[in-house]
Chains A and B, each alone.
Chain A
Amino acid sequence: MLVSEREQLRENIEQWVAQYGSDRSALIPVLQEVQRKYHHISEYVMQVVADTLNIHPVEVYGVVSFYSFIGLRPKGRFIIRLCRTISCAMQGNNRIARQLENDLGIHFGETTPDGNFTLEWANCLGMCDRGPAMLVNDRIFTQVTPESVHEILDECRKAFGAHTFQGEETCPL
Chain B
Amino acid sequence: MIMPTETNQLTFSKVPINEGMKSALQKDRGEIIAMVSQSGLKGRGGAGFPTGIKWNLAAAAQDDQKFVVCNADEGEPGTYKDRVILTDYANLVFEGMTIGGYAIGARKGILYLRAEYTYLRSFLEDLLERRRRTGFLGQNVMGKRGFDFDIEIRMGAGAYVCGEETALIESLEGQRGEPRNRPPFPVNTGFMGHPTIVNNVETFAWVTCILVKGADWFRKIGTEKSTGLKLFSVSGDCSFSGVFEFPMGITVAELLERVGGIGAKAVQVGGASGHCVPASEFDRTIAFEDVPTGGSIIVFGPDRDMLAVAKNFMEFFIDESCGQCTPCREGNERLLEGILMLEQGRCSMRYLRELCALGETMQAASKCGLGQSSPNAFLSIVAHFKDEILGRAPVAD
A residues at B contact (CB < 8 Å): 23-29, 31-32, 62-63, 66-70, 84-87, 89-90, 122-131, 135, 138-140, 142-143
Not counting A123-B316, A126-B117, A129-B235, a sample of 9 additional A-B residue pairs whose C-beta atoms are within 8 angstroms of each other reads A24-B173, A28-B174, A66-B322, A69-B158, A86-B272, A126-B83, A126-B116, A128-B241, A140-B2
Q: How near does chain B come to A170, taking the closest CB pair, in angstroms?
A: 22
**B77, A62: Cβ atoms closer than 8 Å:** no
Interface residue from B157, B173, B234 paired with A70 (Cβ < 8 Å): B157
> Whose C-beta in chain B lies nearest to the C-beta of A62?
B176
**B175, A63: Cβ atoms closer than 8 Å:** yes
Chain A residue contacts of B159, Cβ below 8 A? 66-68
Is B155 an interface position by the 8 A CB rule? yes
**A142, B316: Cβ atoms closer than 8 Å:** no
**A85, B118: Cβ atoms closer than 8 Å:** no
> Whose C-beta in chain B lies nearest to the C-beta of A121?
B319
**A29, B155: Cβ atoms closer than 8 Å:** yes
Q: How near does chain B come to A104, taking the closest CB pair, in angstroms?
A: 21
Contact with A along B118-140 (1 / 0, CB 8 A): 11000000000000000000000
**A25, B192: Cβ atoms closer than 8 Å:** yes
Chain A residue contacts of B118, Cβ below 8 A? 138
Chain B residue contacts of A68, Cβ below 8 A? 157-159
Give the complex CA separation of A25 and B192 in angstroms: 9
Chain B residue contacts of A67, Cβ below 8 A? 115, 156-159, 177
**B235, A63: Cβ atoms closer than 8 Å:** no
**B155, A129: Cβ atoms closer than 8 Å:** no
Contact with A along B42-60 (1 / 0, CB 8 A): 0000000000000000000
Give the complex CA separation of A29 and B78 in angstroms: 28
> Given A66-B177, A128-B235, A129-B242, does the pair A28, B171 have CB atoms closer than 8 Å?
yes
Give the complex CA separation of A142 and B158 in angstroms: 19
Q: How near does chain B come to A61, taking the closest CB pair, in angstroms?
A: 10
> Whose C-beta in chain B lies nearest to the C-beta of A67?
B157
Contact-size category for B = 35 or more
| 30 pairs, CB–CB < 8 Å, chain A vs chain B | A24-B173, A25-B174, A26-B174, A28-B154, A28-B157, A29-B154, A63-B174, A67-B156, A85-B78, A86-B78, A86-B298, A86-B312, A87-B236, A89-B312, A90-B237, A123-B75, A123-B77, A123-B160, A123-B316, A126-B117, A127-B80, A128-B233, A128-B236, A128-B298, A129-B5, A130-B2, A135-B116, A138-B118, A140-B2, A140-B119
Interface residue from A66, A86, A129 paired with B77 (Cβ < 8 Å): A86
**A32, B6: Cβ atoms closer than 8 Å:** no
Give the complex CA separation of A26 and B174 in angstroms: 6
Interface residue from B80, B173, B272 paired with A126 (Cβ < 8 Å): B80
Interface residue from B79, B172, B319 paired with A25 (Cβ < 8 Å): B172
The 10 closest A-B pairs by CB, nearest first: A27-B174, A69-B158, A67-B157, A68-B158, A128-B235, A129-B241, A126-B80, A87-B235, A138-B118, A66-B176
Chain B residue contacts of A123, Cβ below 8 A? 75, 77, 160, 316, 319-320
Chain B residue contacts of A89, Cβ below 8 A? 308, 312
